[in-house]
């Protein structure tokens, strides 16, 4: 349960971490470092893995937009990542459109799916929201599994092409595909950042911290929640579509609850409500799973499960939150409390 004695400082958690607040040179430097890392990634690691990191990073940013800023934990985000992966794959196979168009159409499909799910799910908050979104995502899993004519059922979609205006390097080589897809990933992340730092984003944080007061001030809390849910689903869809294009196939895995769980793990590990943390988390988890898979270790859940337990017990601010809190402490600033939003404390006026 969240205490009702949170200080205003604590309420600001998730907007901008204190260590970097108001220090734009530091923020620009950080942005520059991030860009350099993003550009250098396929030189350093195997390009398809670099693309995996980029896609999962955008996916986690999308989830963090919802979890960190609206205080809503979606445990069914694979529905949007996966539905877009299928739509993107089908568009690329059947219509042969250029891959950015396919991925964007996938994202639109994910948003169309998110609207009814969001409208139903926001009728509940807190833990119920997590359970309801998980259940709806599982429903989609069964639909995809049964609808064999379109989705290929357990075989999935094979041979998804990466059409790109006949530029062969991009269409065949993962190294060049990464650079062709990166602008879309970065645009998605920039969009999330814009949402968070817009008036809309501020209201969102208010609905997270004190829904009753936001409602009393005349904001339609449910409408804000549905809107951010759909936006988050769109970004998750963009990520899922690019992931499918990168791999050249779509499998049931993309709509499974394990995928929903993985993106939650990435977000929590990186640090809830930080956006940067989502990116760091994606880098860590994708690399870890790649290492484990290539070493032939077959109990990935043992490792990821333990990471989950340790992070939740000991590092609830996540990697990014822990680092920025340390920076803030050294500068003598106040450190925000470690808590997910107060979405379930409707009575806390």
**Residues at the interface with another protein (CB under 8 A):** 1-2, 73, 120-121, 123-124, 126-128, 130-132, 134-136, 138-139, 142-143, 146, 257, 261, 264-265, 268, 298-302, 304-309, 312-313, 316, 338-342, 344
Specify the residue, 118 or 188, whose C-beta has the smaller distance to another protein: 118
Shorter beta-carbon distance to another protein: residue 7 or 198: 7
Using alpha carbons only, give the angle 228, 341, 230 rounded to the nearest 5 degrees. Answer: 10
Q: How many residues are present in the chain?
A: 349
Which of 67, 185 has the CB closer to another protein? 67
Number of H helices, E strands in the chain: 16, 0
Q: What is the DSSP string of 127-157?
A: HHHHHHHHHHHHHHHHHHHH-HHHH-GGG-B
Cβ nearer to another protein, comparing 96 with 305: 305
Q: How far is the CB of 314 from another protein (least distance, A)?
A: 9
Question: Smallest distance, Å, CB 114 to another protein?
Answer: 14
Which of residues 6 and 290 has its CB atom nearest to another protein in the complex? 6
> What is the 8-class DSSP label of residue 275?
S
Min separation Cβ 209 and another protein, Å: 12
Shortest Cβ distance from residue 153 to another protein (Å)? 11
To another protein, the closest distance from the beta carbon of 172 in angstroms equals: 36
For 161, phi then psi, to 5°, come to: -80, 155
Residue 334 pairs with which residues in a beta bridge?
none
Contact indicator for 244, 155 with CB cutoff of 8 Å: no
Per DSSP, the three-state class of 74 is coil
Half-sphere exposure of 23 (CA within 13 A, CB side): 14
- Considering only CA atoms, give the Rg of the chain: 20
- Rank residues 95 and 310 by Cβ distance to another protein and give the closer one: 310
In the three-class reduction of DSSP (H, G, I as helix; E, B as strand; rest coil), residue 250 is classed as strand
Smallest gap from Cβ 262 to another protein, in A, equals 10
């Amino acid at each position: 349960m969240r205490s009702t004695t949170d200080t205003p400082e604590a309420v600001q958690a998730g907007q901008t971490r204190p260590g970097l607040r108001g220090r734009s040179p530091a923020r620009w430097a950080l942005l520059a470092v991030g860009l350099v890392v993003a550009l250098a990634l396929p030189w350093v690691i195997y390009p398809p893995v670099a693309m995996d990191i980029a896609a999962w990073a955008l996916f986690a940013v999308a989830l963090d937009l919802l979890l960190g800023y609206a205080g809503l934990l979606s445990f069914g985000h694979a529905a949007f990542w996966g539905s877009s992966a299928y739509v993107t794959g089908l568009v690329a196979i059947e219509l042969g459109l250029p891959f950015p168009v396919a991925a964007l159409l996938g994202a639109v499909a994910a948003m169309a799916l998110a609207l009814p799910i969001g409208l139903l799910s926001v009728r509940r908050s807190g833990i119920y929201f997590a359970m309801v979104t998980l259940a709806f995502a599982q429903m989609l899993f069964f639909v995809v599994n049964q609808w064999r004519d379109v989705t290929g059922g357990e075989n999935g979609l094979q041979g998804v092409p990466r059409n790109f205006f006949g530029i062969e390097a991009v269409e065949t080589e993962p190294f060049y595909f990464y650079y062709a897809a990166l602008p879309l990933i970065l645009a998605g992340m920039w969009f999330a950042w814009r949402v968070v730092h817009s008036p809309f984003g501020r209201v969102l944080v208010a609905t997270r911290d004190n829904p009753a007061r936001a409602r009393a001030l005349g904001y339609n809390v449910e409408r804000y929640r549905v809107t951010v849910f759909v936006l988050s689903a769109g970004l998750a869809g963009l990520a899922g579509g690019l992931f499918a294009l990168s791999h050249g196939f779509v499998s049931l895995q993309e709509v499974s609850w394990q995928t929903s769980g993985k993106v939650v793990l990435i977000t929590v590990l990186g640090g809830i409500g930080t956006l940067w943390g989502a990116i760091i988390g994606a880098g860590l988890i994708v690399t870890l799973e790649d290492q484990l898979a290539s070493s032939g270790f077959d109990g990935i859940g043992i490792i990821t499960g333990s990471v989950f337990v340790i992070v939740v017990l000991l590092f609830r601010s996540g990697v990014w939150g822990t680092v920025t809190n340390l920076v803030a402490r050294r500068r003598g600033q106040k450190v925000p409390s470690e808590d997910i939003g107060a979405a379930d404390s409707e009575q806390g006026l």
